[in-house]
């Protein structure tokens, strides 16, 4: 089978791990394309690959999901970072995972992506994808900002807060949970919205139907748009961000021997090692 081994090009540890793993995979009879996630020719380089193996941490998995999901290629993360919640497998487990994949003992779990369209007051529109979250927050000045929210075109509320997070179920265990949002099982297609440090504003998280559209209008500046905590854009008063479920989905490979989500949650997030898996 053909595999794509994907890395971010600025991390030597990932480069070395991918190179050695590719050598072993080729020796086992697999065709391997070694690719960089920032390659301008990524679609051509991964064409025909049945699975993309992503070497790095959870940040690399976020980049991989945004790059590879529109191409329809399932991804499997090999954790070389600290947390390893999205990239749940280790380098020591990789050969076993590849054997399971080659034998057909795997499935794909679809994860919802967000599509955000930035409509600035002046300038061209910008479309971005997010696996975890889209955040509108205050800029460098330490003060709250006002954000006008509409849901499916109808007025909802004006938040006065440090920011507002719109997150997928996958992102619910990231920034959203850190500010008191609900934990949503990642296979859910629900979208949640939760304010950051709201001041005299509606403080609770809101869980929305998968097909609803959220429109955020910035009423104060300076403000920033953040996508998965990795891509940022300055915002001005009057700029609008429309957030909805993307047509593309991120497909996460699950083999028979991979740890299930709740086990990873207890170990990585809740820090509970004991008890039944």
From 47-61, 80-94, 229-243, the region with the lowest mean pLDDT: 80-94
Predicted pLDDT at 277: 40
| For residues 29-40, average pLDDT | 95
Q: Region 245-256: what's the mean pLDDT?
A: 94
Burial degree of 243 (CB within 10 A; 0-12, 13-18, 19+): buried
| Per-chain mean pLDDT for the chain | 92
Residue length of the chain: 277
Candidates 38, 58, 125, 127; catalytic one: 58
Provide the pLDDT for residue 140: 83
Average confidence (pLDDT) over 58-68: 95
Q: How many CA atoms lie within 13 A of 199 on its CB side?
A: 9
Phi, psi of 238 (to 5 degrees): 95, -15
Task: Reply yes or no on whether the pLDDT at 276 is more than 90.
Answer: no
Could you read off the pLDDT of 84-142 as tens digits, one per residue?
788 878 899 999 999 999 999 999 999 999 999 999 998 899 999 999 999 999 988 88
Per-residue confidence (pLDDT) for residue 258, from 0 to 100? 85
Q: For residue 272, what pLDDT is reported?
A: 64
- Cβ neighbors of 101 (< 8 A, separation 6 or more) are 1, 50, 51, 76, 253, 255
Residue 205 has pLDDT above 70, yes or no: yes
CA gap 60, 78 in Å, rounded? 10
Query: Beta strand 31-36 with 154-161: parallel, antiparallel or unpaired?
Result: unpaired
Return the number of other C-beta atoms located less than 10 Å from residue 275's C-beta.
Answer: 6
Q: Which of 73-87, 148-162, 192-206, 259-273 has the lowest mean pLDDT?
A: 259-273
- Looking at residue 273, its pLDDT comes to 60
Active site residue 58: yes
């Amino acid at each position: 089978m053909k595999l794509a081994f994907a890395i971010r090009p600025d991390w030597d540890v990932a480069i070395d791990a991918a190179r050695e793993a590719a050598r072993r995979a080729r020796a086992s009879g697999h065709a391997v394309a070694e690719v960089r996630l920032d390659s301008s020719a990524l679609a051509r380089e991964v064409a025909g690959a049945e699975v993309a193996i992503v070497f790095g941490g959870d940040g690399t998995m976020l980049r991989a999901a945004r790059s590879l999901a529109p191409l329809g290629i399932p991804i499997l993360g090999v954790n070389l970072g600290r947390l390893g919640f999205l990239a749940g497998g280790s380098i020591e487990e990789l050969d076993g995972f590849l054997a399971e994949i080659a034998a057909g003992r795997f499935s794909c779990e679809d994860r919802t992506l967000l599509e955000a369209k930035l409509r600035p007051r002046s300038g061209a529109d910008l479309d971005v994808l997010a696996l975890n979250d889209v955040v509108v927050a205050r800029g460098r000045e330490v003060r709250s900002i006002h954000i006008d929210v509409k849901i499916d075109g109808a007025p909802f509320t004006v938040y006065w807060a440090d920011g507002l997070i719109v997150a997928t179920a996958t992102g619910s265990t990231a920034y959203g949970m850190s500010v008191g949002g609900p934990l949503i099982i990642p296979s859910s297609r629900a979208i949640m919205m939760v304010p950051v440090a709201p001041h005299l504003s509606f403080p609770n998280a809101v869980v929305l139907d998968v097909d609803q559209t959220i429109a955020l209008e910035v009423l104060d500046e300076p403000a920033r748009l953040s996508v998965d905590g990795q891509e940022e854009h300055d915002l001005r008063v009057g700029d609008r961000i429309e957030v909805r479920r993307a047509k593309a989905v991120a497909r996460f490979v699950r083999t028979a021997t991979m740890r299930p989500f709740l086990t990873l949650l207890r170990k990585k997030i809740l820090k509970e090692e004991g008890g039944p898996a």
